Structure 1
Amino acid sequence: MTGGVGIEYTGVRELRGPLLFVEGVSGVGWDEFATIVLDSGERRHGLVLDVDRDIAVVQVLEDTAGMNRTGTRVAFSGKPLRIPVGAGWLGRACNGRGDPTDGGPPVLGGSYAEVAGAPINPVRREPPNEAVLTGVGAVDVLTTLVRGQKLPVFSAAGLPHLELAVQIAAQASCGDEPFAVVFAGMGLTHADTAFVREGLAARSAARELVLLLNTADDPVIERLLTPRLALTAAEHLAFTEGRHVLVVMTDMTAYAEALREVSAARGEIPARRAYPGYLYSDLASLYERCGRIRGRPGSVTILPVLTMPAGDITHPVPDLTGYITEGQIVLSAEMQAAGTYPPVDPLASLSRLMRKGTGAGRTRADHPAVAAQLIAALARSRQVRELADLIGRSALSPTDLHHLDLEDAFRHRFLAQGTDENRSLDDSLDRAWEVLLTLPRSQLGMLPADLLDAHAPPQDQEAR
């Protein structure tokens, strides 16, 4: 991180949590980078959150522990926080502030960019229309991730969302086009950090990964900076160097809780569940940094992962995330209890841009029809299962029994997958066909006759 040093101020009025209140300042603006020098000579860094007349509120990135009012000096740079950007980030592992944790030198780049980013002109946005393949069948077939999309994963405590995030980050690709992954972890345990490093070691060795990991015992304020650093590095790799970049951010609930803590320290009036009233706009300032720009080859795709407290999808973080993003991948405790990985709930999950990134010339010609028919069949299977719970399996019709068989086949033959299994799209679609063909042909009305003729074995065509 960088920023010049200007006049030093010694008028520290108050230390409150991660915030430093400096009085007697002039010419200081919001988001300005500050250097803080303790009486011991230790240097810390901060960003200006607010300025009211001659008082500046500075959030200290390394926290205010060990600081005292009288021996602290603060210098404002006159510029926002900037970081070096470029291919130098690839293959590196850093903490949430961008300082290396891999034993290497500081990350260098040919140019610098402000971490706050710049909004993409809507007129220059290119509509997403090509897929990012993750190697996870449930995602690639039913909730296809499209280049330039923002598609969150909604999870809950105890579900394997980190395993899924690491698997997607390790396996994702855009065919033969230049590709990179930026992984931003927030509030992780040390065991989780080690798991992420190990799971992504091959991608890092191939210089296709930027790793930013904020641990639970790091300063909470650092979590507000971590996703911004990740997106700043991703934007340069995408829009200047022409790569397709997938940004995985986990856990956004930890980010929102850090935002709530800073808001409380500032004495702001709380909104829903004590989160600040600007939670929506703050999340949007991160999620909306994805996309494609007309005339430039790269793209930024965002996969935020968040845990829903008590599994409540109406909680402010998933609720507001759902308003901003284009669908969601929902993990199910029921699927997890049945021993299925990944425990994706296909009927609660949705990719609103899927139709634009699938089909002939993009994935496979039968992809949209197969996905639609599979979702419809699973919806009917769930209704039949509820009916069977009421009246008993023996009272069901033969067609209803076929739907119960389909649900079991879906879970075991299509959804279930190893945590290190990179499944091709063709394999996933072929498995979807196997599941669908457990139904009579009369129940597959969403599939064109020519597709059915091509995929159903001749004896099945006659029997059905």
Structure 2
Amino acid sequence: MSGPADIEYTGVRELRGPLVVVEGVSGVGWDEFATIGLDSGERRHGLVLEVDRDLAVVQVLEDTAGMDRSGTRVAFSGSPLRIPVGPGWLGRVCDGRGEPADGGPPVLGGAFAAVGGAPVNPVHREPPTEPVLTGVGAVDVLTTLVRGQKLPVFSAAGLPHLELAVQIAAQATCGGEPFAVVFAGMGLTHADAAFVRDGLAERSAARDLVLFLNTADDPVIERLLTPRLALTVAEDLAFTRGRHVLVVMTDMTAYSEALREVSAARGEIPARRAYPGYLYSDLASLYERCGRIRGRPGSVTVLPVLTMPAGDITHPVPDLTGYITEGQIVLSAEAYGAGTYPPVDPLASLSRLMRKGTGAGRTRADHPAVAAQLIAALARSRQVRELADLIGRQALSPTDLGHLDLEDAFRARFLAQDTRENRPLEEALDRAWEVLLTLPDSQLGMLPADLLAAHRHPRGEAPP
């Protein structure tokens, strides 16, 4: 991290929660990195949140516990927080500030990069066109993740979003090209942090994973820093080292609550649900650090995971996330209650860039048609189920009964998957065909006739 400057300020006016208000400063700028010295010899670190004439408000990364006004000295570095970048991060487990949590030495690098990142000119962005395969059939077939995309997972308390995030981080690949995963955990319990480390141990040992773990009892400011560190490391691995990088960030609701807490400590006027009015732009400053840059190798793909309080999709965090990102993967309490994992709701989920990254030469030629037909059939199945609740199953036509059977087959044959099962795309698409072929041809109008015939009679036998 950046070193301290020569001038140390001792005029601490106030200690307020995670904030230090320093007076008598000059030449200090917003987002500047600061080093805080205590009489005990301990050194802490902070970032400048606000400057007003000769006052600077500094958020302390390690919190202000144990500090007193008279024994505190603050030195400003003259530049934003910077961290070393390079391949040395691969295989490491760190806390939310980037300090080693695996017993190893501090991470070193040949260059430094500002954790705030650098805006990318939209003219220099390449459109996403290639898939990132996760080994989770429901995601790969129905909401395909594309390199350079930002695709969030919407969940609720009690649903296995962390298990899904770890499974995707452990299994994701991009067709044999250089690949890495950066996993940022925010506000995790110690049991969840141990689960993440265990689930990703193999990938970490292979040195294609970087792990940042911020636990619930860590300082709240650290939670705001964790995703920025992760994205800074990912950008270097992608655009300098030529890797395709998947950044998994969980839980963005914990991040947003930390932002709300700091905002309240600063005395800012709250907006909806007491979140700060700049929540949208703050989330966008993270989510938009993805993509591909023309003329540079590699890509950054972002998979944020967030929990919707009380399952409310209109809550500010999922609501604003939906505006910024390119679709969503929604987990269903109903499917999970029925014992299905992953409990993905296919009708509420969407990948807006899916058609850019699927089809011949990318996944499989029949992939777009199969996915579209399966979604359409499931939508009809849901309508039939609601109709059956009104008039009874015995009043349904044979075709309607077939749609009810399709919904059961979808969950049992296609959706259900073990938490450690890495399902190849070919197998997932074949399972989708199995489900669709439980319906008569008359109900599969979105599939080309020759394609349907080839799968209905794979050995060329004549139709009955």
Residue 250 of structure 1: aligned partner? 250
CA drift at 1:461: 7.2
Name whichever of 210-219 and 3-12 sits farther off: 3-12
Residue 378 of structure 1: aligned partner? 378
Q: What letter corresponds to residue 223 of structure 1 in structure 2?
A: R
Residue 26 of structure 1: aligned partner? 26
Instruction: Provide structure 2 residue ranges, at least 5 long, that are not aligned to the other structure.
Output: none
Residues 230-257 of structure 1: per-residue CA shift (max 9 Å, x gap): 0000000000000000000000000000
Q: What letter corresponds to residue 417 of structure 1 in structure 2?
A: Q
Decide whether the 8 Å contact of 2:2 with 2:77 is kept in 1: no
Distance between the aligned counterparts of 1:2 and 1:211, measured in 2?
A: 22
Residues 56-114 of structure 1: per-residue CA shift (max 9 Å, x gap): 00000000000000110000000100000000000000000000010000001110000
Equivalent runs, 1:22-421 vs 2, <5 Å: 22-421=22-421
Q: What letter corresponds to residue 273 of structure 1 in structure 2?
A: R
Decide whether the 8 Å contact of 2:167 with 2:199 is kept in 1: yes
CA drift at 1:355: 0.4
CA drift at 1:5: 2.4
SS at match of 2:64: coil
CA drift at 1:296: 1.2
Decide whether the 8 Å contact of 1:190 with 1:215 is kept in 2: yes
Distance between the aligned counterparts of 2:398 and 2:445, measured in 1?
A: 18
Decide whether the 8 Å contact of 1:3 with 1:81 is kept in 2: no
Distance change (3 Å), C-alpha of 1:409 and 1:461: farther
Q: What letter corresponds to residue 228 of structure 2 in structure 1?
A: R
Distance between the aligned counterparts of 2:308 and 2:5, measured in 1?
A: 42
Residue 14 of structure 2: aligned partner? 14
Distance between the aligned counterparts of 1:426 and 1:297, measured in 2?
A: 28
TM-score (ref. length: structure 1): 0.99
Residue 462 of structure 1: aligned partner? 463
Name whichever of 1-10 and 128-137 sits farther off: 1-10
CA drift at 1:453: 1.3
TM-score (ref. length: structure 2): 0.99
Distance between the aligned counterparts of 1:299 and 1:320, measured in 2?
A: 24
Decide whether the 8 Å contact of 2:34 with 2:75 is kept in 1: yes
Residues 303-357 of structure 1: per-residue CA shift (max 9 Å, x gap): 0000000000000000000000000000000000000000000000000000000
Distance between the aligned counterparts of 1:460 and 1:144, measured in 2?
A: 33
Decide whether the 8 Å contact of 2:347 with 2:379 is kept in 1: yes
SS at match of 2:126: coil
Q: What letter corresponds to residue 392 of structure 1 in structure 2?
A: G
Distance change (3 Å), C-alpha of 1:120 and 1:460: farther
CA drift at 1:3: 3.2
Q: What letter corresponds to residue 413 of structure 1 in structure 2?
A: R
Distance between the aligned counterparts of 1:461 and 1:250, measured in 2?
A: 52
SS at match of 2:69: coil
Identity of aligned residues (%): 87
Distance between the aligned counterparts of 2:370 and 2:196, measured in 1?
A: 34
Q: What letter corresponds to residue 24 of structure 1 in structure 2?
A: G
Distance between the aligned counterparts of 1:151 and 1:399, measured in 2?
A: 35
Distance between the aligned counterparts of 1:226 and 1:158, measured in 2?
A: 24
Q: What letter corresponds to residue 463 of structure 2 in structure 1?
A: E
Q: What letter corresponds to residue 133 of structure 1 in structure 2?
A: L
Residue 435 of structure 2: aligned partner? 435
Structure 1 segments, 4+ long, off by >3 Å, are: 458-461
Name whichever of 449-458 and 4-13 sits farther off: 449-458
Name whichever of 452-461 and 251-260 sits farther off: 452-461
Decide whether the 8 Å contact of 1:88 with 1:108 is kept in 2: yes
Residue 426 of structure 1: aligned partner? 426
What CA RMSD, in Å, does the superposition of the two structures yield over aligned residues? 0.9
CA drift at 1:460: 9.3
Residues 268-324 of structure 1: per-residue CA shift (max 9 Å, x gap): 000000000000000000000000000112000000000000000000000000000
SS at match of 1:462: coil
Decide whether the 8 Å contact of 1:3 with 1:80 is kept in 2: no
Distance change (3 Å), C-alpha of 1:68 and 1:450: same
Q: What letter corresponds to residue 58 of structure 1 in structure 2?
A: V
SS at match of 1:221: helix
CA drift at 1:4: 3.5
Distance between the aligned counterparts of 1:240 and 1:222, measured in 2?
A: 26
CA drift at 1:457: 2.4
Decide whether the 8 Å contact of 1:170 with 1:199 is kept in 2: yes
Decide whether the 8 Å contact of 1:167 with 1:420 is kept in 2: yes
SS at match of 1:22: strand
Distance between the aligned counterparts of 1:238 and 1:404, measured in 2?
A: 46
Q: What letter corresponds to residue 252 of structure 1 in structure 2?
A: M
Distance between the aligned counterparts of 1:5 and 1:164, measured in 2?
A: 45
Q: What letter corresponds to residue 94 of structure 1 in structure 2?
A: C
Instruction: Provide structure 1 residue ranges, at least 5 long, that are not aligned to the other structure.
Output: none
Name whichever of 110-119 and 4-13 sits farther off: 4-13
Residues 133-186 of structure 1: per-residue CA shift (max 9 Å, x gap): 000000000000000000000000000000000000000000110000000000
Aligned residues: 463
Q: What letter corresponds to residue 93 of structure 1 in structure 2?
A: V
